[in-house]
Amino acid sequence: MIPATSPLAANGDTPDLPFYAASGDECMLFEQAWRNRLPVLLKGPTGCGKTRFVAHMAARLGRPLYTVACHDDLTAADLTGRHLLKGGETVWADGPLTRAMREGAILYLDEVVEARKDVTVVLHPVTDDRRTLTLERTGETLLAPPEFMLVVSYNPGYQNVLKSLKPSTRQRFVAMEFGYPDPDTEAAIVASETGLAPDRCVPLVRIANALRDLKGQDLDEGASTRLIVYAATLIKAGMKPAAAIDAALLQPLSDDPDVQAALARVADLALG
Amino acid sequence: MIPATSPLAANGDTPDLPFYAASGDECMLFEQAWRNRLPVLLKGPTGCGKTRFVAHMAARLGRPLYTVACHDDLTAADLTGRHLLKGGETVWADGPLTRAMREGAILYLDEVVEARKDVTVVLHPVTDDRRTLTLERTGETLLAPPEFMLVVSYNPGYQNVLKSLKPSTRQRFVAMEFGYPDPDTEAAIVASETGLAPDRCVPLVRIANALRDLKGQDLDEGASTRLIVYAATLIKAGMKPAAAIDAALLQPLSDDPDVQAALARVADLALG
Amino acid sequence: MIPATSPLAANGDTPDLPFYAASGDECMLFEQAWRNRLPVLLKGPTGCGKTRFVAHMAARLGRPLYTVACHDDLTAADLTGRHLLKGGETVWADGPLTRAMREGAILYLDEVVEARKDVTVVLHPVTDDRRTLTLERTGETLLAPPEFMLVVSYNPGYQNVLKSLKPSTRQRFVAMEFGYPDPDTEAAIVASETGLAPDRCVPLVRIANALRDLKGQDLDEGASTRLIVYAATLIKAGMKPAAAIDAALLQPLSDDPDVQAALARVADLALG
Amino acid sequence: MIPATSPLAANGDTPDLPFYAASGDECMLFEQAWRNRLPVLLKGPTGCGKTRFVAHMAARLGRPLYTVACHDDLTAADLTGRHLLKGGETVWADGPLTRAMREGAILYLDEVVEARKDVTVVLHPVTDDRRTLTLERTGETLLAPPEFMLVVSYNPGYQNVLKSLKPSTRQRFVAMEFGYPDPDTEAAIVASETGLAPDRCVPLVRIANALRDLKGQDLDEGASTRLIVYAATLIKAGMKPAAAIDAALLQPLSDDPDVQAALARVADLALG
Amino acid sequence: MIPATSPLAANGDTPDLPFYAASGDECMLFEQAWRNRLPVLLKGPTGCGKTRFVAHMAARLGRPLYTVACHDDLTAADLTGRHLLKGGETVWADGPLTRAMREGAILYLDEVVEARKDVTVVLHPVTDDRRTLTLERTGETLLAPPEFMLVVSYNPGYQNVLKSLKPSTRQRFVAMEFGYPDPDTEAAIVASETGLAPDRCVPLVRIANALRDLKGQDLDEGASTRLIVYAATLIKAGMKPAAAIDAALLQPLSDDPDVQAALARVADLALG
Amino acid sequence: MIPATSPLAANGDTPDLPFYAASGDECMLFEQAWRNRLPVLLKGPTGCGKTRFVAHMAARLGRPLYTVACHDDLTAADLTGRHLLKGGETVWADGPLTRAMREGAILYLDEVVEARKDVTVVLHPVTDDRRTLTLERTGETLLAPPEFMLVVSYNPGYQNVLKSLKPSTRQRFVAMEFGYPDPDTEAAIVASETGLAPDRCVPLVRIANALRDLKGQDLDEGASTRLIVYAATLIKAGMKPAAAIDAALLQPLSDDPDVQAALARVADLALG
């Protein structure tokens, strides 16, 4: 276990810490997982702050952070590294997983279910008590230092049947669930991010929550905190609230004219 | 935010500005998004002027413009760059996204839903508050300058089920919807583009609008402004209107003989 | 617009002009499209003369012609070019599209719907008012000279559901439809191509037209002008007409014994 | 047209001519097609002698023969050629189509429907009146000499739905249909190939024809002439006829025990 | 057969032996298989100790152990080796199978059904009495020394239809089935791994067994021993048991809110 | 035909001949096929001795043997050869087919239906009277010496619909069917292979035959001779028969608990 005289002790008001408003004991759980070398799985909807949370914790724990946005074509070699041709010679170039293990960094794999299966399987020996990575191509075997941590995230909301984490992968992680912040916290976040007066942020949050209630009926996914920030940014820049709400909160959610009309009515009602 | 003493202030009658007839406050919204570093999503049917609009705004804002027509085989490396073999050595060659970020340019991804998923996901760190691009292959991390902007477009009209923007991608953009210009504006555009007398353009616009009403019934997509311009060009060059309308407005829309006959009747009626 | 003092003015009886018997104003429309820099789409059944028409017009307009037969595996790089390894160095080799743009030639993409989607999309910036081609791999941007023209063709008869031109591609072309020549013209063409006496060509054309009437019932596609030319060639070479008709007009159309028998009866009846 | 003073005139009893027993005017038709530069399509069941026929005709016409067995993974480059790396330099290596065109040879594509679509399409410019092949990779355009001929074959018996010749490809060939030889001819062929006494070949042919009648019921395909030759070879070598017939005529046709039993009964009955 | 004076004789309390609590005669069977050069197949649910068992046995038998986590994209070359470019020359680099055969090591293929078929087939000559591996690319043929052993594992619980071991592969292995340890053994394992007092481990094991009973109803797979270890680790580090149980035992098993609630009730009941 | 003064004449008791207990005239048929240059197809269930038979015959005929286990990703180039980069130069490396043809060896393709179609088609010119192999990549054409022989095998028991030999491939082989040896022969084989007393082998064979009767009901495939050998090996090494039978004869056949129970009952009954 990593001793308590770690950078996290010097918490409080670190100047360059990315802003994160905790809604429970997620910071403590993350820190304990890190100290005890347990990998972590973050679950939650798009734009609810998972990425920000990891950035915040990496800064608090004083560890470098490597983020990889996973996708269909991400292969194991994109994580571990590959040989490049330099001066007629093949030279090995570390991937982010290898680099993170060498440096004792935090590796964050965003939307890990999107990756190809060979990616998730390459994580297995890293996530059990071996904490090793074998680079078949170089013959090297890396042992993760205590400071190394693997964090993965995904959005259960639109996890499809073809792509899901196999039990043998899931059961390698301590898991925590994220949701949208409560309205007051969210309005404070939006105000802090955009400089718009808090009382002008409150109705935007009210609209977003009204739209979130439509999830599963007309919408695949509710409005994220990020979209509220966009709307507030445009209003702060001088745009009329109605135009800003349309461009930032309604148009991004759907292309269907009927749904658009419904969203507009919901927004109007929320504004009261 | 980019200060108001930017090139846009010198608006009015810039000589080399690509012609664009605004139909609302789309120019203002685009400018505000640019000043506030928000990425923009343009939605609308084919040939309604989205590409022209972006060219117009890039010129007004004094930014270089890189356009990428997305397709099935467009990979992340096509955007970010790749190693080429030169003189027995691999040399890195920037892709348009990397180049646009280095130069503070506007990158326009046309029909972004056609791209493979790894493309849309590579855009994620560029489109959130990090505005960074990590080039795994070179180990470089780029931070976008304030002048950089990402614009994407797609046509909701024939967006298929397999290919759609994931909510986690959509919710990273301020969105605006485009339609065809109103008849008078469109006739003025056609006249301006072709040199054909405005009163000879009016009936062509009338035909196009009659054909647009058939969308969803006999046609996948109505006649674009571009096709009206083609018809006007051929008429201006001396062709008989009936032949020009057939070649430029009717034949491109359908191959079905029955539909062709129906289109011809609709065109006749529209001419009165 | 290309001025009227172009090679087309010197029309009439150019010695090396590939033979083409016009059946309407298609030559004039093609010429106007070329002079006004509009791309052209040719639609029509197999073997009806589309390729010959393009060769004829390219010669009349005095432009080099590059023809590409499109297929499933044709990629954008096959059109634009690629790097080849020469002497340990990668050297760029222009593809036919790039070459045609540099030389102001006519590029003819035969059966364009067969190409992969990235091919049709690479044509977009070439076919709108930009008329530009960006070679991502070299960083070069080409502007098409006025003499450059893009012509594409396809056969609506067996255009399948999976493969069709997207509206955003179709609406970039002036379109013209081709059919088989009328019987007298076709007999004259066959006589001219083979040297067989015209009165011996007439019954072959009659058979072909009888077989064309079976399209959609027993046959996917009627007998092409090319097959009539084959039959006439064999007869001219001394084969018995019945054997030549079987080998050149009946056997190529179907493998089904019942259909073969039906075709033979139709041919007998047509011969009277 | 190739003049009649060609090698075929010196026909009769050329010593090294591969044995072929003609069953109609197929040799004359093939020769006329060759003299008149028409490509030929051979249709017929497996093992009925198509390949031997082409070898025979190539020898009679005094032309080199290149044979390519087509399959799922055969690409256009396998026919036209490709660059190979030699001494650090890419060197072009002709494929069989290119070689055949340079040498005025006959190119035989066996089971052409098995090839990928890009293969059949690369044949288009070779099979129409242009008779040209453009090597995109080298920029070379080859014109076929009069002696060059393209021959393709396929077996309509198990041509599947996914794989069939497109009309635009089929209509480029003079076609001829092959079947099994009549019993007397076939027995003579088997005797000539194996040295087994003709009267001992007759019952083997009778069995094969009895098995052929089962095609479409229990068997995908009847017994080929080749299998009769195998059986006769084993008998000539001293094996008991029953064992030879089982190993060469029955076991290769089916794995189903019930069908095997039925085949054995049919063979017994045919032997009388 | 390997003689009994092998390292296993010096069993008892080897200091560095990975801890493994045997639940039957699996150690004896594994040892006999190794001595008699028989490959072994381990079957059982995720996280039940298969990997630990192999590590334990490899240490007891004094053999190096190579572990490969199999996946969709694992190819035969990943096991056997490949040529790498070094200094302009291709150099052969052994894969783990080749290395294990050269060194007389134990090769463990985890989740072997996930590998591509060419992988399982490359194992055939290694697993029959030939015990040879032919490296086509180098022309070398390796004969396995007596100490070499191949061990594969898979989880029959979520073996899908598309991916299963072919009988011709399965029938090359001696097979043994694994399950979770009995409750007392499992609590002892958890206490030994985490340092948490054994009586505090007992209720965690009770919860896990209650959750395992839900397999097939609400869960794809029950809670593994590994997850109990995680929970105990967090409790030992000072977290409240309820929070640790939620993060380590409940959240990793399902994303469905209803299922989560059910799991929580089951855990509560198990705690009594 | 290869003369009778071949190594086979010196048959009888060759010291290093792999043991094979013939169950019919398969050796004579194989020898005649080899002498008369006919390719051979072996059909039969897994583990019944096909591979051993080929090894035995190759040794009797004094020919080198090359065995290739076919699979989904086996390409034609894996058989014929490929260019490797050595010292900056591409060097051709023969594949096993090419090597076997050069040396007059026997090439054995195990489970040939698993190979990709291009593999089976590359065999066509090797298996007809041409007996030639054209290496497109080198331009070389090999003629097989009389001693070369091609042998292929497959298991009709689990031949799937997608993967079957095309008639045009099947009809190139003399075929022979293999089954399990009769009980006495099989017990003798097991005793000879393991050194276990013959009377202790008899009940193991009885169990295997009882399990084979379940094929098609509960099992995909019955127990192979190889599995009996495994069981006998473990018993000979001192394991209790029940444990050895479970590990070697029951566990490898199925993962289903119900089927396992049924197998155990069948084994008990067979033991009497």
CB atoms A29 and E243 under 8 Å: yes
Domain edges within chain A: 7-177, 183-271
CB atoms B38 and A234 under 8 Å: yes
pLDDT at residue A6, as a whole number: 39
Q: What is the strand order of the sheet B106-110 is part of? A: B65-69, B106-110, B149-154, B40-43, B174-177
CB atoms E72 and A118 under 8 Å: yes
Q: Which two tokens stand for residue A61?
A: 């724990």
Burial of E211 per CB tally in 10 Å (0-12, 13-18, 19+): buried
pLDDT at residue F107, as a whole number: 97
Q: What is the C-alpha to C-alpha distance for residues D66 and D94, in angstroms, rounded to an integer?
A: 13
Contact residues, chain F, for E176 at CB < 8 Å: 247, 251
Q: What is the C-alpha to C-alpha distance for residues B237 and B230, in angstroms, rounded to an integer?
A: 11
pLDDT at residue B7, as a whole number: 41
Q: Which two tokens stand for residue F44?
A: 């039969």
Q: What is the C-alpha to C-alpha distance for residues F269 and E243, in angstroms, rounded to an integer?
A: 54
Q: E93-133: per-residue pLDDT in tens?
A: 898 999 999 999 999 998 888 777 667 768 888 987 789 89
Q: Which two tokens stand for residue E45?
A: 């649910």
pLDDT above 70: residue B208: yes
pLDDT at residue A97, as a whole number: 95
How close E175 gets to chain F, by Cα (Å)?
Answer: 5
% residues pLDDT > 70 (chain C): 86
Tell whether F155 lies on the interface with E, counting CB pairs under 8 A. yes
pLDDT at residue D89, as a whole number: 64
**Nearest residue of A to residue E85, measured between CA atoms:** A90
Smallest Cβ distance to E29: which of F47, F72, F243? F243
% residues pLDDT > 90 (chain C): 46
Query: Best-predicted range by mean pLDDT among A122-131, D193-202, F88-97?
Result: D193-202
Identify any residues that bridge with B142 across adjacent strands, giving them in sequence order: B133
Q: Which two tokens stand for residue F242?
A: 């029940």
pLDDT at residue E3, as a whole number: 52
Smallest Cβ distance to F174: which of D71, D193, D247? D247
Q: What is the C-alpha to C-alpha distance for residues F219 and F213, in angstroms, rounded to an integer?
A: 9
Which of E269 and F60 is assigned the larger pLDDT? F60
Q: C10-42: per-residue pLDDT in tens?
A: 334 455 788 887 878 899 999 999 999 999 999
Which of E10 and E178 is assigned the larger pLDDT? E178
CB atoms A36 and E237 under 8 Å: yes
Which of D39 and F169 is assigned the larger pLDDT? D39
Q: E203-254: per-residue pLDDT in tens?
A: 999 999 999 988 877 777 889 999 999 999 999 999 999 999 999 999 988 8
Average pLDDT over residues E159-165: 56
Q: Which two tokens stand for residue C53?
A: 């028409």
Question: How does the average pLDDT of chain B come out, rounded?
Answer: 84
Q: F172-219: per-residue pLDDT in tens?
A: 899 999 989 899 999 999 999 999 999 999 999 999 999 998 887 777
Q: D238-258: per-residue pLDDT in tens?
A: 999 999 999 999 999 888 888
Give the pLDDT band (50/70/90) at residue E87: low
pLDDT above 60: residue F123: yes
Distances E78 to D58, D255, E54, E83, E100 between C-alpha atoms, Å: 47, 36, 21, 11, 13
pLDDT at residue A240, as a whole number: 92
Burial of F141 per CB tally in 10 Å (0-12, 13-18, 19+): exposed
pLDDT at residue F156, as a whole number: 79
Q: Do D39 and D152 contact (CB within 8 A), yes or no?
A: yes
Q: D139-155: per-residue pLDDT in tens?
A: 788 999 999 999 999 88
State the pTM of this model. 0.71
B139: left (phi over 0), alpha (psi -120 to 50) or beta: left
Contact residues, chain F, for E74 at CB < 8 Å: none
pLDDT at residue B31, as a whole number: 95
Contact residues, chain B, for C167 at CB < 8 Å: 46, 157-158, 220-221
Question: How does the average pLDDT of chain F come out, rounded?
Answer: 84
pLDDT above 60: residue A145: yes
pLDDT above 90: residue E258: no
Here the contacts of A164-169 (C-beta below 8 Å, separation 24 or greater) are A164/A113, A165/A112, A165/A113, A165/A120, A166/A120, A166/E158, A167/E46, A167/E157, A167/E158, A167/E220, A167/E221, A168/A124, A168/E46, A168/E47, A168/E111, A168/E155, A168/E221, A169/A120, A169/A121, A169/A123, A169/A124
Give the pLDDT band (50/70/90) at residue A161: very low
Contact residues, chain E, for A42 at CB < 8 Å: none
Contact residues, chain B, for C125 at CB < 8 Å: 67, 69
The H or E element spanning position E184 is: helix E183-194
pLDDT at residue A256, as a whole number: 80
pLDDT above 70: residue D85: no
Which of D151 and F13 is assigned the larger pLDDT? D151
Q: What is the C-alpha to C-alpha distance for residues A50 and A156, in angstroms, rounded to an integer?
A: 13
Q: A61-109: per-residue pLDDT in tens?
A: 999 999 888 877 777 888 998 877 665 566 788 989 999 999 999 999 9
Q: D49-60: per-residue pLDDT in tens?
A: 898 899 999 999
pLDDT at residue B171, as a whole number: 86
Distance in Å from the first CA to the final CA of chain E: 53
pLDDT at residue F68, as a whole number: 87
Q: C71-92: per-residue pLDDT in tens?
A: 777 778 889 988 776 655 667 8
**Nearest residue of F to residue D240, measured between CA atoms:** F29
pLDDT at residue E42, as a whole number: 94
Tell whether A95 lies on the interface with B, counting CB pairs under 8 A. yes
Tell whether A10 lies on the interface with B, counting CB pairs under 8 A. no
Average pLDDT over residues D63-90: 79
Give the pLDDT band (50/70/90) at residue C200: very high
Burial of C231 per CB tally in 10 Å (0-12, 13-18, 19+): buried
Q: F243-271: per-residue pLDDT in tens?
A: 999 999 999 888 888 888 889 998 988 87
pLDDT above 50: residue F8: no
Smallest Cβ distance to F247: which of E116, E118, E174? E174
Tell whether C111 lies on the interface with D, counting CB pairs under 8 A. yes
ipTM: 0.80
Q: D223-238: per-residue pLDDT in tens?
A: 999 999 999 999 999 9
Q: Which two tokens stand for residue D46?
A: 């497996």
Chain B interface test: which of C6, C121, C134 (most B C-beta within 10 Å): C121
Distances D58 to D131, D189, F101 between C-alpha atoms, Å: 19, 20, 26
List, as one string, the DSSP characters of chain D.
Answer: ---SSSGGGG-S--TTPPP----SSHHHHHHHHHHTT--EEEE--TTSSHHHHHHHHHHHTT--EEEEE--TT--HHHHHEEEEEETTEEEEEE-HHHHHHHHT-EEEEETGGGS-HHHHHHTHHHHSTT-EEEETTTTEEEE--TT-EEEEEE-GGG--SSS---HHHHTTSEEEE--PPPHHHHHHHHHHHH---HHHHHHHHHHHHHHHTTBTTTBSS---HHHHHHHHHHHHTT--HHHHHIIIIITTT---HHHHHHHHHHHHHHH-
Give the pLDDT band (50/70/90) at residue F7: very low
Distances D261 to D239, D256, F164 between C-alpha atoms, Å: 21, 9, 21
Q: Name the neighbours of F, counting chains with at least 3 Cβ pairs within 8 A.
A: D, E
Report the Cα B172 to chain-centroid distance in Å.
Answer: 19
Average pLDDT over residues C181-195: 93
Which of B162 and C99 is assigned the larger pLDDT? C99
Q: Name the neighbours of E, counting chains with at least 3 Cβ pairs within 8 A.
A: A, F
pLDDT at residue F167, as a whole number: 76
Contact residues, chain C, for D25 at CB < 8 Å: 243
Q: Which CATH number does B7-177 carry? A: 3.40.50.300
Contact residues, chain E, for A25 at CB < 8 Å: 243
